[in-house]
Amino acid sequence: MPDAALAEAEEIRFLDNSPEALRKRLGHGNIYPTGSATQALESLFRTENLAALREIGLRVVAETLAVPGAARRGSRRTCWWP
């Protein structure tokens, strides 16, 4: 998702899952069809890629919360934290 889209969003929900939990869901066919899941697990959804994306997401949330007034921007800005 482009940074500009995040900056303009009225509401952002960050759902935090471990890379292992996401890979398990993917393997069960909960994210991609089972036939596509094997290839996805071996390429894009490797544990190290998912861990890096999770860290980026956590940083974006932390930076958003650290900006004074960020929670009041827009008519409905919500931050979900597990």
pLDDT digits (tens, 9 = 90+) for 13-63: 888 999 999 999 999 988 888 788 888 899 989 999 999 999 998 998 888
> What is the model's pLDDT at position 69?
59
Give the distance between the most distant pair of CA atoms in the chain. 46
User: If you compute the radius of gyration of the chain from its CA atoms, what whole number of angstroms results?
Assistant: 15
Q: What is the pLDDT of residue 68?
A: 64
Q: What is the pTM of this model?
A: 0.68
Strands (E) across 1-82 are located at: 12-13, 79-80
Residue 81 pLDDT exceeds 60: no
pLDDT of residue 12: 78
The pLDDT, as a whole number, for residue 64 is 78
